[in-house]
Amino acid sequence: MIQLCAVSEDQTANSWDPLLEMLREGPAVDNYAGLEPMNSFVNLPFKGKIQFVTANATSREGNRPCFCLLDQTESWVVNNGGVKLAAALRRNLGKTGGASIEAPNAYVPGEQSVAEVSANYYRTILEGKARDEGLLYDHREAPPDTDLYDRDNLLAGLERAYGESAEVNGGWVDLDRIVAEIWDPATDPQAARRYYLNAITHAPDSWLSQPEWAACADPLKVVADGDMIALGFDGSRHRSDVVTDATALIGCRLEDGYIFPVAVWEQPDNQRDWWAPTAEIDATVRDAFRRWNVVAFYADPAADWRSFVAGWEADFNDRLKVKVTSGHPIEWWMGGQNLTKTVRATAQFHSAVVHKELTHDGSSVMTRHVLNARRRDSRVGLVISKDFPESPRKIDAAVAGILAWQARTDAVGQGVIAAQTKRRSRSIRRF
């Protein structure tokens, strides 16, 4: 049994109609006795069958397919029964040792579609957190810095996205016609990137889009031991009622504004009552000071981290060239009286990404946290937050990144790099 699946009968036609045409017009009917391509099903030799399935077909539980095609899973969500259908199909496939293929367009982050959940599964594999790696993920999209308003650049991006389907590569898609659609004033730029460039962009209230963040990635850069850096820290120790927030230590090199995760600790999937490993985290912070020339360190002491922050202040005060205050060189409260400063720091990080003033290592975990962040209005301006308070989609690496970037910005503004260069120049002249 082979099943072609979608959330509506009209949607199944995307795969069903070409399948019937190929079976009827190609050599299959001549080569396989007993093959019968009917309008609503296909009889296969040896009592096999190909059929289409929709989300309304709730009786699919217990079927025994050997293969399923899940079409346009970016639109399979809870409200239309798509998530429930996907779960039933996969349970059935598990019992037969079968396999499935999803064929989605780019999904909208935050909708929790079947396509988005599968993409998140892939990210857990990249991060080494998955218990099983039985997933092949192949996502083809235009480069994230594709300029929608530069014809040559846009055509190059479209050719990348459409591949052999593009007319210039022997296919059937007229890219000039696509350009005309993108340049139509009625076409929303975000929709153009999603539907034509196959780019996963952002939810309506996202803080940063995937193309904006991806355009700053430079994974080939290396942070050497002894480099001058700033650190940002955001942590959580334990929450018994919901998933504990992550704890993140993020670095930013002063010389070029290169952002990189030192470490991120997250509650493992399916593990309840998790406590952040405070001893390991404390050791990692201290090791960072041994490994690099840390000249600024901003840490949010909320969620029971005040005693640790106080210890870091006592031990590393003399090392720091830039301090939050003379009394608390590291402690940076994100809210309360510091809210105005937090709003400004958030805006500066956002601007640095949009204008490509910073680069990052492209790590999966930091990318996930940045793209999880949502815009929220506060009494003094824009801040970031999770999509809802108990959400399992964490943003702590993004918060720590903001603090690291602000620490780096303050250090550059206070002339730390220039002072370091001057000291090196003097030492050379003495020789």
Tens of pLDDT, residues 40-58: 999 998 889 999 988 766 6
Do residues 217 and 362 touch, judged by C-beta distance below 8 A?
A: yes
Residue ranges of the chain assigned to CATH 3.30.420.240: 228-419
Average pLDDT of the segment spanning 206-218? 91
Do residues 166 and 127 touch, judged by C-beta distance below 8 A?
A: no
User: Would you place residue 420 in the very low, low, confident or very high pLDDT band (cuts 50, 70, 90)?
Assistant: low
Domain at 228-419, CATH class: alpha beta
Instruction: Indicate the SS3 state at residue 265.
Output: strand
**DSSP string over 273-300:** S-B--HHHHHHHHHHHHHHSEEEEEEEE
Do residues 254 and 229 touch, judged by C-beta distance below 8 A?
A: yes
| pTM score | 0.72
Q: Each residue of 334-388: pLDDT tens digit?
A: 988 889 999 999 999 999 999 999 999 999 899 999 999 999 999 999 999 998 8
Cα(131)–Cα(110) distance, integer angstroms: 24
Cα(330)–Cα(296) distance, integer angstroms: 8
Could you tell me the CATH superfamily of domain 2-126?
P-loop containing nucleotide triphosphate hydrolases (3.40.50.300)
Cα(255)–Cα(227) distance, integer angstroms: 9
Kindly state the DSSP code that residue 330 receives in the 8-state scheme.
S
Cα(207)–Cα(346) distance, integer angstroms: 10
Do residues 235 and 276 touch, judged by C-beta distance below 8 A?
A: yes
- Which residue carries 């004033």 as its tokens? 185
Tokens of residue 14, six digits = 């995307």
Query: Kindly report the CA angle at 52 between 47 and 56, in degrees rounded to 5?
Result: 125
- Which residue carries 């139509």 as its tokens? 184
CB atoms within 10 A of CB 276: 21
- The gap from C-alpha 192 to its chain's centroid, in whole angstroms, comes to 20
Instruction: Indicate the SS3 state at residue 227.
Output: coil
Q: Each residue of 251-298: pLDDT tens digit?
A: 999 999 999 999 999 998 777 888 999 999 999 999 999 999 999 999
Cα(409)–Cα(332) distance, integer angstroms: 15
Residue ranges of the chain assigned to CATH 3.40.50.300: 2-126
223: Cβ–Cβ under 8 A, 6 or more apart, which residues?
Answer: 229, 251, 253, 258, 260, 292
Cα(89)–Cα(70) distance, integer angstroms: 9
Q: Each residue of 379-401: pLDDT tens digit?
A: 999 999 998 888 888 999 999 99
Average pLDDT of the segment spanning 118-142? 89
Cα(313)–Cα(83) distance, integer angstroms: 49
**pLDDT over 90 (residue 60):** no
Do residues 365 and 261 touch, judged by C-beta distance below 8 A?
A: yes
Burial level of 242, CB count in 10 A (0-12/13-18/19+)? exposed
Average pLDDT in the chain: 90
Which contiguous run of DSSP H or E holds residue 252? strand 247-253
